[in-house]
């Protein structure tokens, strides 16, 4: 299946992926209205330091420890995409303990949030990939 | 192939999913002592808290058994095993198996306490039915006494805090959550729970019950209306041990989840395997381990070659909004940082991370868990950097390319 891959050599550290992610989650029509004056909580996060930067988001592992560990059955795999049922999540954060990438995180209301490859918000290329100005984040099928 | 699974919790469900990864056709029979659709036991406290309901507590969707071709037998418990004839005896008869999984879980352990039978309203806190009977017994005037300040006792306390007048917790240990927290961490959480009205009598135990009064060893007398015992659990090993299977506190299993009995596997709270961090043989009665073991057993029952060699203690839990995560073993040198309601201790020795306790800011703790699980050599990463803040930066470009860039190791 297609997954998001990151090539840190090409990352500019511009954080546009974070804004595009937050915008995609908001469901709003334009980015300015959606994000103005709020602290964004994107599912993809740029790590930077010492001249290095790159974005981290869910790897959609073949053998996902977050799903295996979820005590409430709130995380599941749907067509390869690791999906959170926010209504079932009881905020125990076992998935946070399980994820090797730190890519599952508590959201503002307590339920966990994570990258779902934009399948719930828009079809096709995930927003972070579509908006990456330097091709550092790609959406590809690799073995 | 005929598969029989005894149990209906995460280990049992994991086994169904493990079997179905490779064997779509084999017959699976699942015996569940409880007459319920598979549900998440740790969620019973959230049910009382009103944060979930019986529908949302279902561990898998309604169609799970049907979609996976499972003959689900609710309310049918296993009574004994006839390993010679490969049959599980139930109250209704017998079920033949080619491969069997025992995922029978554990039951509450209630230590002998003088006068216990004189207590009118007394409960355990393990099952959905326990939780519902406890809820029915509570009134806004109830004074509740909980024996046991472990995960079960304290989650119960949080769950019923809004449904009763007062909660007093008694524990023999000198601190709360002694199985997962060290002294300093326990003090932080205890103070937080006290702020929410819960009283504690630690390093103490009940000498005698007399109806609605508990007399403690310390001499103190505690009047109460409802008693909850949450001292600990005992693994359900008798099916295996009566059939001659090797048991310690749990049913002994190897890395493939095989017991000493031919074609009999065990997983979850009834199984005793190797703690990958300490190398000790122990029961790790935690939900992630139960699922992972069950899934591994299922794959192997279907002829696979799966290995489950990374079992370790790992907990995520919160009380009244204060979250904590812990993993591994608390051995070796310590990195420590503290703030107000923030606490972090990382334990390391022999060039690897052994364990951690984090209260408050639990974000990205899984990066630490992975280091423990993978036995990541600390000399190969920027350890100082990762102590302060879990991120992928300290792992270096090459490892990151594997993690994020799809580059093969």
Q: What is the mean pLDDT of each run of 10 residues along chain B (409 residues)?
A: 98 98 97 97 97 97 98 97 98 95 97 96 98 98 98 98 98 97 97 98 98 97 98 97 98 98 98 97 96 98 96 97 97 95 95 98 98 97 96 96 90
Helix (H, G, I), strand (E, B) or coil at B152: helix
Cross-chain Cβ contact A72/B59 below 8 Å:
yes
Domain with A27 in it? 1-57+121-143
Query: Is the same domain home to A16 and A47?
Result: yes
From B401, which residue of chain A is nearest by alpha-carbon distance? A7
CATH number of the domain enclosing A91: 3.30.70.20
Query: Is the same domain home to A80 and A101?
Result: yes
Spatial neighbors of B384 by CB under 8 A, at least 6 apart, are: none
Cross-chain Cβ contact A90/B58 below 8 Å:
no
Query: Is the same domain home to A47 and A21?
Result: yes
Query: Is the same domain home to A105 and A140?
Result: no
In a mutagenesis test of the A interface, which of B404, B408, B409 is the best target, namely the one with the most A β-carbons within 10 Å? B404
Q: How far apart are the first and last CA of chain A?
A: 8
Cross-chain Cβ contact A94/B316 below 8 Å:
yes
ipTM for the predicted complex:
0.97
Same fold, B109-232 and B321-404: no
In CATH, B2-46+55-105+236-301 is 3.40.50.2300:
no
Q: Residue B282: its pLDDT value, please? A: 96
In a mutagenesis test of the A interface, which of B53, B288, B374 is the best target, namely the one with the most A β-carbons within 10 Å? B288
Is A123's pLDDT higher than 80? no
Angle at alpha carbon of residue B51, lines to B47 and B54, rounded to 5°: 40
Query: Is the same domain home to A64 and A108?
Result: yes
Q: How many CB pairs under 8 A join A and B?
A: 127
Asked if B295 has any chain A CB less than 8 Å from its own CB, the reply is yes
CA-based nearest distance A75→chain B, Å: 10
Q: What is the pTM of this model?
A: 0.96
Cβ contacts of B391 on chain A, cutoff 8 Å: 47, 102
CA distances from A92 to A63, A105, A112, B7, B96 (A): 21, 11, 9, 24, 39
Cross-chain Cβ contact B363/A106 below 8 Å:
yes
Q: Which residues of A115-138 are buried (b: 16+ CB within 10 A; e: fewer)?
A: bbbbeeeeeeebbbbebbeeebbb
Is A42's pLDDT higher than 80? yes
Pick the CATH number of B109-232 from 3.40.50.2300, 3.10.520.10, 3.30.43.10, 3.50.50.60: 3.50.50.60
Is A23's pLDDT higher than 80? yes
CATH number of the domain enclosing A6: 3.30.70
Query: Is the same domain home to A48 and A7?
Result: yes
Q: What is the CA radius of gyration of chain A?
A: 15
Q: Where are the beta strands (DSSP E) in A7-121?
A: 45-49, 52-56, 75-78, 81-84, 105-106, 112-113
Query: Is the same domain home to A40 and A22?
Result: yes
Give the number of domains in chain A: 2
Asked if B318 has any chain A CB less than 8 Å from its own CB, the reply is yes
Q: What is the CATH number of domain B321-404?
A: 3.30.390.30
Cross-chain Cβ contact B52/A91 below 8 Å:
no
Query: Is the same domain home to A66 and A107?
Result: yes
**A88 contacts A35 by C-beta, under 8 angstroms:** no
CA-based nearest distance B219→chain A, Å: 38
Query: Is the same domain home to A69 and A88?
Result: yes
- φ/ψ region of B8 (left if φ > 0, alpha if ψ in -120 to 50, else beta) reads alpha
Distance CA B22, CA B15 (A): 12
What residues does B273 pair with on adjacent strands?
A: B282
Domain ranges of chain B: 2-46+55-105+236-301, 109-232, 321-404
Query: Is the same domain home to A128 and A108?
Result: no
**B259 contacts B252 by C-beta, under 8 angstroms:** yes
Helix (H, G, I), strand (E, B) or coil at B222: strand
Query: Is the same domain home to A1 and A22?
Result: yes
Is A122's pLDDT higher than 80? no
Cross-chain Cβ contact B365/A72 below 8 Å:
no
Helix (H, G, I), strand (E, B) or coil at B329: coil
Distance CA B2, CA B114 (A): 48
Residue A143: pLDDT band with limits 50, 70, 90: low
Asked if A43 has any chain B CB less than 8 Å from its own CB, the reply is no
From B374, which residue of chain A is nearest by alpha-carbon distance? A100
Asked if A12 has any chain B CB less than 8 Å from its own CB, the reply is no
Cβ contacts of A49 on chain B, cutoff 8 Å: 393
């Amino acid at each position: 299946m297609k997954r998001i891959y990151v090539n840190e050599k090409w990352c500019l550290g511009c954080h546009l992926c974070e804004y595009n992610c937050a915008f995609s989650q908001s469901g709003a029509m334009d980015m300015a209205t959606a994000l103005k004056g709020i602290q964004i909580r994107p599912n993809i996060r740029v790590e930077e330091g010492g001249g290095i930067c790159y974005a981290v988001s869910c790897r959609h592992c073949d053998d996902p420890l977050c799903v295996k560990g979820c005590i409430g059955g709130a995380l599941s795999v749907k067509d390869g995409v690791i999906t959170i049922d926010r209504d079932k999540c009881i905020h125990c954060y076992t998935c946070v303990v399980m994820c090797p990438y730190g890519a599952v995180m508590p959201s503002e209301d307590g339920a966990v949030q994570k990258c779902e490859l934009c399948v719930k918000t828009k079809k096709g290329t995930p927003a972070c990939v579509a908006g990456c100005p330097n091709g550092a984040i790609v959406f590809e099928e690799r073995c | 192939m005929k598969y029989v699974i005894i149990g209906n919790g995460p280990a049992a469900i994991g086994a169904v999913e493990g079997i179905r990864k490779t064997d779509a056709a084999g017959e699976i029979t699942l015996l569940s002592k409880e007459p319920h659709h598979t549900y998440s036991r740790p969620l019973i406290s959230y049910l009382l808290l009103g944060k979930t309901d019986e529908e949302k507590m279902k561990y898998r969707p309604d169609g799970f058994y049907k979609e996976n071709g499972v003959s689900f037998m609710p309310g049918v418990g296993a009574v004994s095993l006839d390993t010679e004839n490969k049959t599980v005896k139930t109250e209704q008869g017998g079920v033949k198996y080619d491969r069997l999984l025992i995922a029978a879980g554990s039951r509450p352990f209630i230590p002998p306490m003088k006068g216990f039978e004189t207590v009118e309203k007394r409960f355990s806190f393990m099952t959905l039915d326990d939780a519902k009977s406890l809820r029915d017994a509570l009134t806004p005037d109830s004074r509740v006494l909980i024996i046991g300040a472990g995960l079960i006792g304290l989650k119960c306390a949080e769950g019923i805090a809004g449904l009763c007048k007062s909660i007093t917790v008694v524990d023999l240990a000198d601190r709360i959550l002694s199985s997962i927290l060290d002294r300093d961490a326990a003090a932080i959480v205890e103070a937080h729970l006290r702020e929410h009205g819960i009283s504690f009598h630690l390093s103490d135990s009940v000498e005698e019950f007399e109806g609605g009064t508990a007399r403690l060893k310390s001499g103190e007398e505690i009047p109460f209306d409802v008693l909850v015992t949450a001292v600990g659990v005992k693994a359900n090993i008798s099916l295996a041990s009566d059939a001659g299977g090797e048991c310690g506190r749990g049913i002994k299993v190897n890395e493939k989840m095989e017991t000493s009995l031919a074609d009999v596997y065990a997983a979850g709270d009834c199984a005793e395997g190797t703690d990958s961090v300490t190398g000790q043989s122990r029961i790790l009665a935690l939900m992630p381990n139960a699922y992972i073991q069950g899934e591994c057993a299922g794959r192997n029952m279907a002829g696979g070659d799966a290995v489950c060699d990374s079992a370790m203690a790992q907990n995520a839990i919160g009380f009244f909004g204060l979250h904590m995560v812990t993993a591994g073993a608390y051995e070796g040198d310590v990195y420590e940082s503290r703030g107000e309601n923030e606490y972090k201790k990382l334990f390391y020795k022999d060039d690897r991370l052994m364990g951690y306790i984090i209260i408050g800011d639990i974000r990205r703790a899984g990066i630490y868990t992975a280091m423990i699980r993978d036995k990541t050599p600390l000399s190969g990463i920027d350890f100082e950097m990762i102590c302060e803040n879990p991120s992928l930066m300290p792992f270096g470009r090459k490892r990151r390319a594997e993690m994020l860039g799809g580059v093969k190791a």
